[in-house]
Amino acid sequence: MDTPALPVLPTWQVAARRTVLLEEGRSATLRPVAVGDADFMAEFFASLTEREKHYFFWLDEERARRLALDIERDPSFRLIAVGEHDGCVRVLGYMFLESKDEGPPTFGACLHPGAQSRGLGRAMIDHLLTSAAESGLDRACLTVHPDNWRALRLYQRMGFVLTDEFVNTHQRVKQYRMEADLRSPRPAITEEVTVVPHGHLGIGVAAARVQRAIELATGWRPLILDQPAHPTSRVIHVAEFGPLAGTPIAVRPEWQRSVVTVGWIVTLSPGHLLIGGSTGPAADLAARRFAELVAETSTSQQRSDGTGSPLRLERIPFLDLHVCFPADPVSLPVAPSR
């Protein structure tokens, strides 16, 4: 029997150390994990609160120490940020890229509770992904909880896009799968518009469809978050209103066929637009229709201006929309907007 081929792993091209200046004037040193960091790693994982354990993962002392002790035999890239906190030098952040199966390597990140919201996460992920690209990797993937607002915002700013959803078998909660093209420049992010998903598996992918349509037309990528990115953001709600909404389970096809499926694109207020459906598939079809409206509006503007310039964000179809349609996957008659 042939032995399965092991994944081709990169030779990491990364500077041994890099010092970054954080908010409040503090600094941290970014460097790869070394054999001598066993105590550092054990102390770092012991310092994590229940919040970090929920969103990242937790290792006991022995497994945390092994991250450092086995580093010379570990093909993964493991990065730490070392700095002063509470009068002691300790690990402030830990990130990794590791290849286990086919596909892009998996990215993971966790910051010390006292080192969050100070610019460290952005500095570390930028250093890690830049090193990965310089080492020959072209993609990276990760998983994230939809309500991990800080992480989801940062990952999207660094180029990750939502590609799939699944149920975490350990916690029984929904998570997003995201992927980044390391060869591409960082996206142009806007907080003028936020796409907010509401519902079970599949609604995040529908929200990503809306996000992509806006980026293609305007050149700006809105964030997908569970709340507005900014108090003044216009919000596009992508929602599923069926009886199973909010439950992290897949909807069986026979259940989908047993109810009348209806989709909506409705202006709720000057700052809120609803793209929804009575089932997840109906909401996804509504998202597709909205993508068509965005593309049509962009084409109309280009013809009017005669310049071929991108659609302006303020011209995204938002006001005076009241579209309701039966969301039959075979046929999608769409009522004209008023």
pLDDT band for 268, please (50, 70, 90 cuts): very high
* pLDDT number for residue 14: 67
CATH number for region 188-338: 3.30.379.10
Does position 245 have pLDDT exceeding 60, yes or no?
A: no
* Nearby residues of 93 by Cβ (< 8 Å), 6 or more positions away: 28, 80, 81, 109, 110, 111, 112, 115, 120, 121, 124
- Phi first, then psi, for residue 186 (nearest 5°) are -60, 145
| Average pLDDT across the chain, whole number | 85
Local confidence band at 177 (pLDDT 50, 70, 90 cut-offs):
very high
Look at residue 237 and tell me whether its pLDDT is greater than 90: yes
Which pLDDT belongs to residue 157?
97
**Residue 6 banded pLDDT, cuts 50, 70, 90:** very low
User: What pLDDT sits at residue 338?
Assistant: 40
Helices and strands: H and E segment counts in the chain: 8, 14
The radius of gyration of the chain from alpha carbons, rounded to an integer in Å, stands at 22
- Domain boundaries in the chain? 188-338
For the segment 10-38, the average pLDDT, to the nearest whole number, is 84
pLDDT tier at 259, thresholds 50, 70, 90: very low
286 and 264 Cβ atoms separated by less than 8 Å:
yes
Q: What is the mean pLDDT of residues 292-301?
A: 91
Instruction: Report the C-alpha gap between 164 and 144 in whole angstroms.
Output: 11
Buried b (16+ CB within 10 A) or exposed e, 212-227: bbbbebbebbbbbbee
